[in-house]
Amino acid sequence: MALHALTIHELREMLANGQVSAVEVTRDVLDRIEKVEDKVKAYITLDPELALQQAETADKKLKDGTGGALCGIPVSVKDVLCTDGMRTTCGSRILENFVPPYDATTVVKLKQAGAVLIGKVSMDEFAMGSTSEHCAFGPPKNPWNTEYICGGSSGGSAASVAAGECIASLGTDTGGSIRQPASHCGVVGLKPTYGRVSRYGLVAFASSLDQVGPLTKDVTDCAQMMNVISGYDANDSTSVPQEAPDFRNALTEGLRGMKIGIPKEYFLEGLDPEVEKNVLKGIDLLREAGAETVEVSLPHTDYCVAVYYLIAPAEASSNLARYDGVRYGLRDKTSDALVDMYRNSRSQGFGDEVKRRIIIGTYALSSGYYDAYYKKASQVRTLITEDYRKVFERCDVLVSPVNPTPAWKLAEKIDDPMSVYLSDILTISANLAGIPGISVPCGFSGEGLPIGLQIQGAHFQEEKLLSAAFNLEQRLNISHLRPDNL
Which residue out of 21, 76, 78, 345 is catalytically annotated? Answer: 78
Q: Is the peptide bond before 317 cis (omega within 30 degrees of 0)?
A: no
Catalytic, 153? Answer: yes
Catalytic, 207? Answer: no
Catalytic, 177? Answer: yes
Cα–Cα dist 98/174, whole Å = 23
Three-class HEC string of 208-219: CCCCEEEEECCH
166 Cβ contact partners less than 8 Å away, ≥ 6 residues apart: 29, 74, 75, 76, 118, 121, 160
- What does each C-alpha distance from 259 to 247, 263, 286 come to in angstroms? 20, 13, 10
Cα–Cα dist 213/187, whole Å = 13
Which of 114, 111, 118 shows the shortest CA–CA distance to 44?
Answer: 118
Cα–Cα dist 278/251, whole Å = 23
Cα–Cα dist 326/170, whole Å = 30
Largest CA distance in the chain: 70
Which of 395, 372, 368, 381 shows the shortest CA–CA distance to 458?
Answer: 395
In angstroms, how far is CA 137 from the centroid of its own chain?
Answer: 19
Which residue out of 130, 132, 153, 317 is catalytically annotated? Answer: 153
Which residue out of 21, 76, 92, 177 is catalytically annotated? Answer: 177
- What does each C-alpha distance from 96 to 100, 199, 304 come to in angstroms? 12, 22, 33
The values of phi and psi at residue 286, to 5°, are -65, -35
Q: Number of helices and strands (H, E) in the chain? A: 15, 11
Cα–Cα dist 418/232, whole Å = 37
- What does each C-alpha distance from 55 to 20, 65, 72 come to in angstroms? 12, 15, 6
Which of 287, 160, 198, 82 shows the shortest CA–CA distance to 151?
Answer: 160
End-to-end Cα separation, the chain, in angstroms: 17
Q: Give the number of other Cβ atoms within 10 Å of residue 6's Cβ.
A: 21
Residues with catalytic roles: 78, 153, 177
